[in-house]
Structure 1
Amino acid sequence: MTASTPEIAPTIEFFRGIPEELSNVSLRREKRTGLRNVLMTFERLNALERFNSFTKEFSQSLSLIDSEGEIAVEPDSVRFFFAGDEGDELRRVECKFAIERDDHWDRFMRFMQRYAEANGMAYGDR
């Protein structure tokens, strides 16, 4: 009998120890270059809502954690969108990054499959 790898719930973190909830993800491939672009959308950030961002270690990257380990992604951009009467109500956060290597893409897709299964998300074409 062999020991199995413990199952770890897939998480996404901007700040160590504060898991975020992904609202949507868009995957696109540039026809000219073949570069794969990922756009992750978050409707809220737990780190901001809990005001823990000042007391937790900022990883300077987006961490995608699952049973295979951790993927550290350095976003090309992180955009905050605000609304409300005063313009101070967080509407969503968009995190964009590119993946060049096929093996990195395959690993990212395995993570996304696990994350989707654990969080009731499904793949759909637009």
Structure 2
Amino acid sequence: MATLQSIAFSSLVSHHYLHQPRSPTGQVSWTIHRNSHSTFHGQSLQLARPWWSQLKWKSKLSRSVTVMVKPTIQFIQGTDEQTIPDVRLTKSRDGTNGMAIFKFEQPSVFDSSSEVGDITGFYMIDEEGVLQSVDVSAKFINGKPAGLEAKYVMRSPREWDRFMRFMERYSNENGLQFIKK
């Protein structure tokens, strides 16, 4: 059994590799020669290219991969909130800014926070990325946590549009509907 401890290829070797003729099986053969500044004594190598790199040489087609992420809300990163919130939206008359207020009654984060960790913020996660806020407040009744309120401020039409895309995905996933008052 052979073990590989360390091999360092210089950029000259990498450059040399790219211009070597390839066999139909995708193998490349070259010789690394001793460099006057190195103690490495070269030997002939025969390497097989991975199957995915062979595809690159045969086809110039690029493929995009779309990753679909279930839209979720989290208070502790990595722990999805199971309680569906009541959401109230406000928007300025000129449409340049607005606020979303999320109210959670008996959120599931209270059940897992002692095991998982502290509430670190308010995270809205979907396939476009993460929207976050640190404006989170808790409501206590008789010394016990009863609810959470999180505020997300939007300071531009672009932020408003991004938030609305998240809310559309989140509401479709959780059966929410928009009621204009």
Q: How many residues end up aligned between the 2 structures?
A: 119
Specify the alignment match of 1:124 in structure 2.
179
> What SS class does the counterpart of residue 68 from structure 2 fall into?
coil
Residue 89 of structure 2 corresponds to residue 27 of structure 1: yes
Aligned position for 1:82: 140
Q: Which amino acid aligns with 1:67?
A: E
Quick check: which one's strand share is greater?
Answer: 1
- TM-score, normalised to structure 2, is 0.56
C-alpha distance in structure 2 between counterparts of 1:113 and 1:99, whole Å: 16
- For residue 73 of structure 1, report the CA deviation from its aligned partner: 2.4
Contact 2:97 2:160 in 1 (8 A): no
Equivalent residue of 2:180, what SS? coil
Q: Secondary structure at the match of 1:50?
A: helix
Task: Specify whether residues 72 and 51 from structure 1 end up closer, same or farther in structure 2 by C-alpha distance, changes over 3 A only.
Answer: closer
Q: 1:10–1:32: structure 2 CA closer, same or farther, 3 Å change rule? A: closer
**More helix, by proportion:** 2
For residues 80-110 of structure 1, give each alpha carbon's deviation from its aligned partner in whole angstroms, at most 9, with x where no partner exists. 2233xxx144432111232101111111100
Gaps of 5+ in 2: 1-61
Identity among equivalent positions (%) equals 26
SS at match of 1:123: coil
Q: 1:92 is matched with which residue: 115, 136, 147? A: 147
1:81–1:92 contact (8 Å) kept in structure 2: yes
Aligned pair partner of 1:41 in 103, 126, 130: 103
Contact 2:87–2:101 (Cα < 8 Å) also in 1 = yes
Distance 1:3 1:64 in 2: 25
Quickly say closer, same or farther: Cα 1:38–1:3, change in 2 above 3 A.
same
Contact 1:22 1:40 in 2 (8 A): no
Classify the secondary structure of the residue corresponding to 2:121. strand
Aligned counterpart for 2:125 among listed residues 65, 69, 74: 65
| Match of residue 59 from structure 2 | none
For the pair shown, the structure with the greater C-alpha radius of gyration is 2
Q: TM-score, normalised by structure 1?
A: 0.78
Bigger Cα displacement from structure 2, 61-70 vs 89-98: 89-98
More deviation in 33-42 or 94-103? 33-42
Cα root mean square deviation, aligned: 2.5
Gaps of 5+ in 1: none
